[in-house]
Amino acid sequence: MIDIGVVGAGAVGLTLAGRLAQHGATVVVFEAERARQRVGSKAICMQRETLEIWQRLGIGDRVAQRGVQWRIGRTYYRGRQLFEVHLPDTDEHFPPFVNISQSEVEDLLEGRLRGLGVPVHRGHRFTSLTQDVDGVTATFETDDGAVQHRFSYLVGADGAHSPVRHAIGMNFTGYTFDDRFLIADVRAELPMTNERHFHFDPPWNPGRQVLIHPQPDGVWRIDWQVPPETDADAVRASGDLDRRIRQVVGESTPYELVWMTGYRFSQRVADAFRDGRVFLAGDAAHVMSPFGARGLNSGISDAENLAWKLAAASNGAPDSLLDTYEAERRPAALANLAATEATMRFLAPHGPFRRAWRNLVLRMAPHSAWFRRRVNSGRLAEPASYEGAPSVTSGPDDGTLPRHGTVAPDARLPDGTRLREHLGRGFIVLLPRPVPASDLRAEPLVIGPRTVYGSERAWMIRPDGYIAGSAELDRPAGLGDQSMV
């Protein structure tokens, strides 16, 4: 019997499958589409931690080198720049964000899966499942008729309309926004910096917003907030799309329309991410506004969190380990939904009072730091913290040290390598100096005393790069009681 079946060959499903294979699990991916569809800038903003996860798979550097790296977000009101935000940028390997089409990343991921020997069965449309105490039987419709496969566990990474989620009868609580958004990928030479440009109420989209992002090969993504009744095909056929693009690129600038679409987004989360031996990840588990680049990035973190736990459970780890997936990732989804909800309340305020307040904030922002801090054009994605989850112990007491349940900060090791180059395979114990190996329950790594981790503490790092626990160096045997492995 195969250890894990993954339904959905998007970025989340492919990342999950690759990481499962690296952890030693047998895994097969199933995809309804017969061939990969290259879909414009469906998602383009890849956050640093996402790149680190892909680096463990072997494609992170390729994604970063191919994409457009950026560190500054600029916000405008009625054509005038209000402020610019410089994203935190230490000496870490990757920039805060890289812009590249999700479709390109999926090509790289699928190539990596071939190298890992992971099959991707296309033209397999999931239709139903049954599960018992020993496994899951899934049925797929193919050109040759229905086929069934048996797994120890099944993961639905099959998008917002997830057939897997429907098959287990899981509620998808939330709502859909009224306003629509029009997206165009345009190839043109623009006198614009390769950064995020967010416009409130510009002269060429009065009363609404426009977001502009650079992409590779001289392509720019333009997002217009438009009235609910707007039809993308009608906008293109009428010439209104050309008018909108000309207002951004200029009347005399040649341009090529690469791709365009219209969409209305939702804010939803599954009531649970697990039903017995069936799990949900990515858009199958949660969907949200794109402002802040939290959708795909949070889905990749779902995959990284779930992969090592499913692989461990397939190898005999206690079933309770799998409960920690929902305990950690569902609160992360709720936090992302809260952040994107706050953004949308600012972008599209309902009622005269909220709209008057929003307009006052924008008018005063050039003159007041207090008002500038209240301008919300999307709180950009950052790794979730699992502090407070039942799976995470509190600590340490020293506020200058990293917290348990957070992503392990990178650090330069005495041999010149990065700490994060060593993460992702199994549990690791970080030490400022050598200690007897008999005191440790995981691979030791001497990091040296002069790092963010302090000089007298040992740290346990999980396979997904999160800090599992720490202890003073004179009692390293107390590190991570291993209830998680």
CA distance 379 to 116: 36
Backbone angles phi, psi at 5, to 5 degrees: -105, 135
CA distance 57 to 298: 17
Start-end of CATH 3.40.30.120 domains in the chain: 385-485
Find where tokens 């050309």 sit. Answer: 242
State which H helix or E strand residue 385 sits in.
none
pLDDT at 291: 80
Type of residue numbered 211: L
Give 113-145 pLDDT, tens digit per residue.
999 999 999 999 999 999 999 999 999 999 999
pLDDT at 295: 87
User: Looking at the domain that runs over 2-67+98-175+266-342, which CATH code has it been given?
Assistant: 3.50.50.60
Distance of CA 399 to the CA centre of its chain: 28
Give 224-279 pLDDT, tens digit per residue.
999 888 888 999 999 999 999 999 999 999 999 999 999 888 999 999 999 999 99
User: Looking at the domain that runs over 180-263, which CATH code has it been given?
Assistant: 3.30.70.2450
HSE on the CB side for 113, CA within 13 Å? 28
CATH level 3 topology of 385-485: Glutaredoxin (3.40.30)
Start-end of CATH 3.50.50.60 domains in the chain: 2-67+98-175+266-342
The two three-digit tokens of residue 417, written as one number: 């390598």
Give 328-378 pLDDT, tens digit per residue.
999 999 999 999 999 888 988 888 999 899 999 999 998 899 998 999 988
> What global pTM score does this model have?
0.94
State which H helix or E strand residue 430 sits in.
strand 428-431
Closest CA to 393 of 467, 319, 473: 467
